[in-house]
Structure formats: structure tokens, C-alpha cells
Amino acid sequence: MAGQVSLVQIRIMSIDELLEEFEDLLDWEEQCDFLIDLGFELPKFSADLKNEENIVKGCQSLVWLVAEPEVSDGVTVVCIRADSDSMIVRGLIAVLLAAYSEKTPQQILDLDIEALFQRMGLNQHLSSTRRNGLHGMVRRIRSIAASNCT
């Protein structure tokens, strides 16, 4: 389908690889550039996915997020895709996807995402509206995971 994002494209980097690169960077300047690079690499949503239903509330930037359960080898995993009109937010989405995508609902619920944000220093460098937006995305992903928990 035109505009459909393939899962292969999303599986750019595992969260461990991402963290390793991120932490090798000198300072927030370089880390911010890295997030922007991730943002540029993130596949874009087609116009039909940018609908009201997919909008994540609480973000000052527009964020659209789709998360669907998918059965792979008999195991239910949650496939997440998201897009934003802000390039830095797109970079943050790439971090969330690396952390959450292809995980089972239980793995998603067990993941301490706050510790990850802390480790990356995001709380310190993001504006409060951005932090709220990030937490809005996390809430959306967790609630989808919770409703697919068996």
C-alpha cells in the first residue's frame, strides 16, 4: 500500500545500539543533532494516517501514533508507528520505537521507560511541553499494551 511503513524500515536500531551511540556523544549539542538525524531517518506517515483518531493528546507538536498487536511465531507483539510535524519529536519517536516496538504487551508494561529518559538526560534538556508530549505517547503505548495483555 502506498505510504505503508514496513516493519523492516522501523527496525533500524535496537535500543542498546541506540544508547551506545547516544552516550558516546560529547554533549547535548551532539545528542540533539543525533536525535534530529534519527528524526530524518524515521519513515513518514501517509496523509490518511494523520487523522484525528491517531493524534496523541498533550503534545504541543502534532504527533500521530498507531500501535497494533500482531501475531508473530505464535507470540503477540505490539507494532508501533508514529510521526510528528517536529523533527526533534520525530527523533524522540525513534527512541520510543527502539525501546518499545516488537515487544510483547507484558514486556512493554514491564519496561522502565523513565529510567531510559533519565539515562539519556531528556528530562533535563526537553521543555516541559515536550516532556508532557513524550509521556502522552508513552501512556498511549502502555494503554494499548494493557488492552492486549493476556
Partner 1 sequence: MSRITPSSFDAESVRSQFPVLNRELKQGRPVFLDSAASAQKPSAVIAKEREVEEQYFANAYRGRYSFGARIDEELEASRKKIASFIGAASGSQIAFTAGTTLGLNQVAFGWGRSRLQPGDEVVITPMEHHANFVPWQQLVRETGATLKMLPLTADGRLDVTAFDDVITRRTKIVAVCTMSNVLGTVNPVSDLARRAHHVGAILVADGAQSVPHSPTDVLSDDVDFLVFSGHKIYGPTGVGVIYGRADRLEEIEPIVFGGHMISRVTMDDSEWADTPARLEAGTLPIVQAIALGTAIDWVNQTGLESIHAHEQSLLAEATRRLMEIPGMRIYGPSPQYKGAIIAFRVENLHPEDLAAMLDRRGVFTRHGHHCTMPLHELLGVTATTRASFAAYNTMEDVDKLVHAIQFAREKLRLV
Q: List active site positions.
A: 59
Binding part of the chain for partner 1, among 72-80, 93-101, 110-118, 124-132 by CB under 8 A, reads 124-132
Strand extents, DSSP E, the chain? 63-72, 75-84
Separation of alpha carbons 15 and 109, rounded Å: 16
Give the nearest distance from C-beta 35 to partner 1 in angstroms. Answer: 10
Q: In the complex with partner 1, which residue's Cβ is closer, 13 or 62?
A: 62
Give the nearest distance from C-beta 55 to partner 1 in angstroms. Answer: 12
Q: Does 127 bind partner 1 (CB under 8 A)?
A: yes
Q: Does 36 bind partner 1 (CB under 8 A)?
A: yes
Give the nearest distance from C-beta 102 to partner 1 in angstroms. Answer: 28
Contacting partner 1 within 40-99 (CB under 8 A): 40, 60-62, 85-89
What are the residues binding partner 1 (CB under 8 A)? 28-29, 32-33, 36, 40, 60-62, 85-89, 127, 129-130
